[in-house]
Each structure stands twice: as C-alpha cells, then as structure tokens.
A and B are shown apart, each in its own frame.
Chain A
C-alpha cells in the first residue's frame, strides 16, 4: 500500500529492537521519507538537543515509492539534527539499500540513545538484531561492507555504514551504502558514529505492494517514457552524469573558483564530464568505465571510474586500481575548481577516499579551499598544517589532506570540522563560504541570482537540492528565467522548495524533475498509496513539510539573521563572465520570499499560515 505501515524502533542504550505501527495520520499529512521522518523527529526530540548526544535521534526513512517500479524509486533519507549546522539534517541516498529496507517490510528505522559498545544492526525481514561491531570499529566502509556480508554468509545483503570519518567526528561525515552511494551532507554520519552504530545490514524478501498494481504499472510506464524522451534525463545525464554541467556552468560565469574569489575556472574542461570520456595520454583508457543506475532508475547518471594506475596517488597502491564511484559534478567542483586543481585522476582518488571513509566531498573540498586562502594570506602557517604547503592548485596538498581527514590525523582533524569553524579559529569568519555552517555547492549566486535565495533559506544550510532554480535560470525547465535578475525569484524558489519536498518524501530522485512535472508524479503516488494525492494536495504537503522544517530550525535557535550569505557574495562583484560586476541581490528577494511564504518580517510562520497548513 505504498507504506508497509510498520516502523522499527531501536534503543541503542538498552539494546532493544521493537516493531511499531506507522502513524497513518502523519503519513497522510507528510507522505513519507523526508516529510514523515521530520514529523517523527519534531514530535520525539527537543530541537535544542546537542546533535552528538544520545538524546538526538537518527531516522532512516523510505518513501511510499521506494522499492517500487517507479523510475528512480529507490531512495531513502537519513533525518536527524545535524552537527555541522545545528539545524534539521536530511540527507538522501540512492543505491540499493533503501529498496532493500522496504522489501524487508519496514517504512523506517528510528535509532535512539547510544550503545555502550560498537554495534551494527542486522535486519532480516521481520527480525532485527543488534550485533557486536568491536572489530569493525576503525574500519573503512569498503572493509565493513564485505566483512558483514561474509560474516552473515549472504551476498545479497545490502549494507549502509560509516567509515572512520563518522567514528572520528568529522562534522560532515556521511553514511555510505552500496560502497559509493552517500547520504552525504550535514554530518549525519557523525551522529551515527556518536551512537556507536557502525552499520545497518538489511535483507528483505517481502517485496513491495502498491495500492492499485494495474494503475501503478500504467502510471510508471508512462513516466519512464517521458524520462527516456527528455534530452536531460534521456541523454545528457546517462552520458555525462551530473558532470554534464561543468562546462555549461563555467561558461555562464557561475563556477565558484578558489574559494569563490573567482567565478570561472580555466581548468574546468580538464575535469568535465566530457574529459571523463577522453582516452588518457598515459594508458589510452578513459577515466569513465560506465554509467550506473541506482535501484529502479531508468536515467542512470551514476559514474563508475578507474584511476590511471600510473598516477602518483595510486602508483604504489594497487588497492585503488579497481572501478568505483567516479566524480559527480559537485565533487569535481569542490575538490577541483574550488581548490584550483584540474587533475581529474587526483580528484577521482580524493573522491574514492571520501566514499571509502564516508565524508562529504563538497564540504571537505570547500573547507580545503578556505584553508588554502587562509594559508596564502598567512593566517594559517606551515606550523599549523604540519608542513603541508596549502597553495591553491596543489594536488599534493589536496590528496594528503584527504588521507589525513579520512584517518583523523594531523591538520586533517581541523579540516574535519568544516570551514566555518576553521575560518573562525584563524580569525577570518567571512572567508567561510557557508550558510548556517554548511558549505556551498557548485553554483555561484552572483551569476545565478535565485541560488542566492535558495542557499540563504535552505533548511539544512547551503544546498542546491532544496530548490534547484538552476533548472529554470540556466536550463529553462520548466521555463527559462534570466539568471542575472531577481524579479520573480522569490516565487520560483518557493515553488521549487515545495515541489522538491514532495519528491524527497516520495522515494523518488529529484532528478526526475528535469522531465516530470507534478502532473507526471501525482498519478504514480496516487496508484501506490491510499488517500488523496492530487497535485494540489501534494503541493500543500510540500509546503507543510517546508514549514515544519522551518519551525524546527526556529525552535533550535535559528533566526532571520541566519538567512543570509557570506559577505563575499553580497559585496565582492564577479570579476569575469556574463555576471561581471554583479553581486547577489539577496536583499531584494528575501522580504518578498517571507511575504509569499506567509511568514513575518522576522521569518517566522504566522499563525494564519500554520493554521492553513494544519501545523
């Protein structure tokens, strides 16, 4: 019925696992995954909780379309309070794990308390057991996953786990499933580590039961046809992955470079999606081996790469000569353009390490970039870095710091705390390119004005996946708007935020929205679930979810003052490209946004708004 109607509650302090009925009223109001788990978190925890304390909860949640035949229906999200941001954290991942949890008969897993000793959770259909993980602690994701499968003698088990970054309290540690798919942002992996939980292994054999299977098949087949015939989801993404954007965004002058000092990167072509297809001079092979899909996905944007065996980073390390997840656009940007590095093989190596030990390449790369600027200014010295010459463009500096951060050693410990804390410590808080403590993704808000408002108002700190107005402002989806003007952007951002909240709560991947409107999505949800899932009700649900997250953040101590951007974006104009001379005009968009949202001038939802949304 879309939902199994069953959740698993694990008390790590007591070592107990018990099944509970899903709150169906909440499911009707919040759909699933992101929305529904946020509702549980709000009801069960104090928003002022210390994110790394046992009182915080960690929720793994699927949506009603997770594990279904809907294209991209394989997503899950991890919802908790994030240690990087002190806001709501909600990180979404693909791969196969989410679908497997659904097949085992569970809609979500709520983990509370803290285990005395390292444990992992094993779910085999109805049975859930906490298993000792003392000997897995200190191991990477890439060691943990095969070890658990071998130990349980079942290669069909799917595993999600933390690496050493999550154990060591890297504030942007992620949770990695299927070796290279990540619930990457906001430090959800650090929360898992703080609970002494190493992994969740799942084997499910119960399958998925949509409410109306025949209608569901018709709706999902129609949806897949739309994706296949669309230029972005049918051609661009399968061929180049998200890396299709590298050259495009650079050309429009919205490619943040060297800690956002510049907006175009002269090395962009060398680290682009096109470059991943080119035979290397060294061995005649391309960096890219193949594209790969997540569960149920007919787009298949995932990159599978192999590093050049002769590259200095891996020449003496045959353990990295195998294929694995290659760089996506965000990783290529943060590890590459933001640090001024145009060595695709080095970026692939750094990306491998981020997956191997579970940390977010966006926040990591951006923190290294901030450290490089501080180093070039003299605010950070060789004494601080332990002798690493932290210059922009230094491949050695990047790869050494990746290794140190993974292991929690040396200057890597400071990099692991993120750029906000780093820049504050060294006396230049303005140089941290963050909102609410979370590092920006790969779109310069001077060249794409709507993204400034997107970042400033995102409920999980700077993020492109809360309202991807790039779709409209650059790609013309659903209609083209001028990236350099602010008119109409408040409404655009709000519409994207609400629609994205729906997609993130359904079990689908947000990439479907390049081709699908809400009119394509609604019939699929309607056929999977009982209840009213008209377009109108879905959008109201999205708005409700957005406001619930906002309420959580306000209760956690956020105010309108946190809805802002670093000075660099508001005062330092872009130096080159189509946006030359522009800053981000957030001040023109934000008041209108608050008004459209039905919030006070202080960014607080009015009682009228809360009543309208039944909050």
Chain B
C-alpha cells in the first residue's frame, strides 16, 4: 500500500520535534535549519501548521530537472533527489509551486522530503498525531468519520 503523510494542523502544538527528528535522520544532526518539514506559527490565529512535500503524482520538480536527478521511488511514491546526479541548478525550486524543495548551500544539492524509505521520522516523533503516515488513498478517512459521527449521532433522535 502506498502511504502519505497526513497533516492535521489543529493537533499541532508547535514543539518542533518533527523538525529535529527529520534533520537527525536525513543529515545526522539535530538542527531545524536542516529539516525538510517546517512548522509555521500563525500566532495571531493561534495555529501551528507543519508543512512539507506532498509527493505530487506529476511532480513539477521531477519534470523540471534537466539532469533527471529526481526519481520516483515506486515503493513509497516519494520523489527522491539523487545527490550524485544533482548539479544544484535550483530549477526545481522554481518549478515547485509549494516551496517544499530547497537548495542546501553547504551540500550543493537540493533537498526534499523522501518519506524516509517509508518510515517517516517526523510522524514517529510527533507527540500529538498532528503528523501521521496513512493509506494514501484514504487521507480523508478520519475527517469523513468525524462528519459521519456528527451526521448520525449529533442529530436529534426521532
């Protein structure tokens, strides 16, 4: 089964454990500046929102890359940067409408979420299940369930 990261901002507390876990897994350092997932704090709304690559099916980054350095991982559906092929031209960072692929100046290549070979560290580190790794075809399941519950169980009974 192909899985996808599901992000539910309402559950996020802004602790940044996901950013720390990501940087440790991918770069071997505990450093939010090296994380591929970022948490945004919309202070005036009282909302914290984690954001990362959604692994588009027809990925802009993949199609834009002039040296075919971004490949599809067929097992996970992740679009993966092959570091040895990447020339650091950054065209993909311009092509991506979501900003989730970025240039890493110290490494000279672009970096993005690769779903950690199907075991994403951010989801494991999240203490509130604001980030989960679920069936990619059913990312709406929990919300459907909530609304089903509302529809059936919160209506005045006849």
Within 8 A of B (CB), among A69-101: 69, 71, 96, 99
Is B15 an interface residue, CB under 8 A from the partner? yes
Tell me, in angstroms, the Cα distance from A296 to B45 when the chains sit together. Answer: 21
| Mask: chain B, 4-35; 1 = CB below 8 Å from A; 0 = not | 00000010011111001101100011111110
What CA separation (Å) do A99 and B14 show in the bound complex?
A: 14
Would you call B33 and A69 a contact (CB within 8 A)? no
Instruction: Find the residue from B30, B32, B43 having the highest chain A CB count within 10 A.
Output: B30
User: Quick check: A290 and B46 within 8 Å, CB to CB?
Assistant: yes
Q: A213-B24, A295-B15 are in contact. Are A207 and B30 (CB under 8 A)?
A: yes
- A206 neighbours in B (Cβ, 8 Å): 31, 33
Counting CB contacts under 8 A, is B47 at the interface? yes
Of chain A, the residue at the smallest CB distance from B11 is: A290
Interchain nearest-CB distance for B47 vs A (Å):
7
The reply to whether the CB of A534 lies closer than 8 angstroms to some CB of chain B is no
Does B45 contact A69, Cβ atoms closer than 8 Å?
no
User: A290: shortest Cβ distance to chain B, in Å?
Assistant: 5
CA distance A533 to B39 in the complex (A): 33
Quick check: A298 and B43 within 8 Å, CB to CB?
Answer: no
A298 and B15 contact, CB distance less than 8 A: yes
CA distance A289 to B33 in the complex (A): 29
CB-based contact B14/A292 at 8 Å: yes
| Across-interface contacts of B75 in A (CB, < 8 A) | none
**Given A290-B47, A298-B15, also A224-B31 (CB < 8 A):** no
- If A213-B24, A323-B43 touch, whether A292 touches B30 (CB-CB below 8 Å) is no
A207 touches B15 (CB 8 A): no
> Of the candidates B14, B20, B47, B48, which one forms a contact with A69 in the assembled complex, judged by CB atoms under 8 Å apart?
B20
Instruction: Tell me the count of chain B residues lying within 8 A, CB to CB, of chain A.
Output: 26
The answer to whether B33 touches A292 (Cβ under 8 A) is no
Instruction: Give the residues in chain A near B48, CB-CB below 8 Å.
Output: 290, 292
Whether the pair A296, B128 counts as a contact (CB closer than 8 A) is no
**Which residues of A have CB within 8 Å of B14?**
292-293
Least distance between B108 CB and chain A CB atoms (Å): 16
B-side contacts of A615, CB under 8 Å: none
Q: Is the CB of B127 within 8 A of A224?
A: yes
Q: How far is the CB of B153 from chain A (nearest CB, A)?
A: 20
Structural contact, B127 and A210, CB atoms closer than 8 A:
no
User: Which residue from A210, A297, A305 sits with its C-beta under 8 Å from B15?
Assistant: A297
Distance in Å from the Cβ of B58 to the closest Cβ of chain A?
31
Q: Are A204 and B33 in contact (CB under 8 A)?
A: yes
| A292–B127 touching, CB < 8 Å | no
Does A209 interact with chain B (Cβ within 8 Å)?
yes
- In Å, the complex CA distance between A304 and B33 comes to 26
Interface size class of A (residues with CB under 8 A): 35 or more
Interface centre among A67, A96, A228, A295 (most CB of B within 10 A): A295
The answer to whether B30 and A208 have CB atoms under 8 Å apart is: yes
Q: Which residues of chain B come closer than 8 Å to A290, judged between CB atoms?
A: 10, 13, 46-48
Residue A179 lies at the interface, judged by CB distance under 8 Å to chain B: yes
Residue A322 at the chain B interface, CB threshold 8 Å: yes
State whether B13 touches A103 (Cβ < 8 A). Answer: no
CA distance A208 to B14 in the complex (A): 19
- Assuming the A-B contacts A207-B23, A224-B127, A306-B46, are A296 and B33 also in contact, with contact meaning beta carbons closer than 8 angstroms in the complex? no
Say whether B44 faces chain A, with CB atoms less than 8 Å apart: yes
Checking B16, B17, B29, B43 against A207 with a beta-carbon cut-off of 8 angstroms, the contacting residue is B29
The contact string, 1 if C-beta is below 8 Å from chain B, for chain A 206-235, is 111110010001000000100010000000
In the complex, what distance in Å separates the CA atom of A295 from the CA atom of B128? 14
Task: Check if A140 is an interface residue, CB within 8 A of chain B.
Answer: no
Select which of A69, A209, A293, A305 is within 8 A of B13 by beta carbon.
Answer: A293
B48: nearest chain-A partner, CB-CB: A292
| Contact between B16 and A304, CB atoms less than 8 A apart | no
CB distance from B110 to the nearest CB of A (A): 17
Q: In the complex, which residues of chain A have a beta carbon less than 8 angstroms from the beta carbon of B10?
A: 290
* A576 located at the interface, meaning its Cβ lies under 8 Å from any Cβ of chain B in the complex: no
A69-B30, A209-B29 known; A296 vs B20 contact (CB < 8 Å): yes
A323 to B46, CA, bound (A): 5
- CB-based contact B30/A210 at 8 Å: yes
* Contact, CB under 8 Å: A207 / B44: no
Are B17 and A67 in contact, CB atoms less than 8 angstroms apart? no
* Closest B residue by C-beta to A224: B127
Name which residue of chain B comes closest to A291, CB basis.
B13
Bitwise, A265-299 to B at CB < 8 A (1) or not (0) is 00000000000000000000000011111111110
| Max chain B Cβ within 10 angstroms of own Cβ: one of A67, A210, A217, A300 | A300
B46 contact set on A, CB distance < 8 A: 289-290, 292, 304-306, 323
A-B contact list, 14 entries, CB within 8 Å: A69-B21, A69-B125, A96-B16, A103-B33, A205-B33, A205-B34, A207-B34, A290-B46, A290-B48, A292-B13, A293-B15, A298-B127, A322-B44, A323-B43
Residues of A whose CB lies within 8 Å of any CB of B are 67-69, 71, 96, 99, 103, 179, 204-210, 213, 217, 224, 228, 238, 289-298, 300, 304-306, 322-324
Known: A207-B29, A292-B13, A300-B15. 5 other contacts (CB 8 A): A206-B31, A209-B30, A213-B28, A290-B48, A323-B46
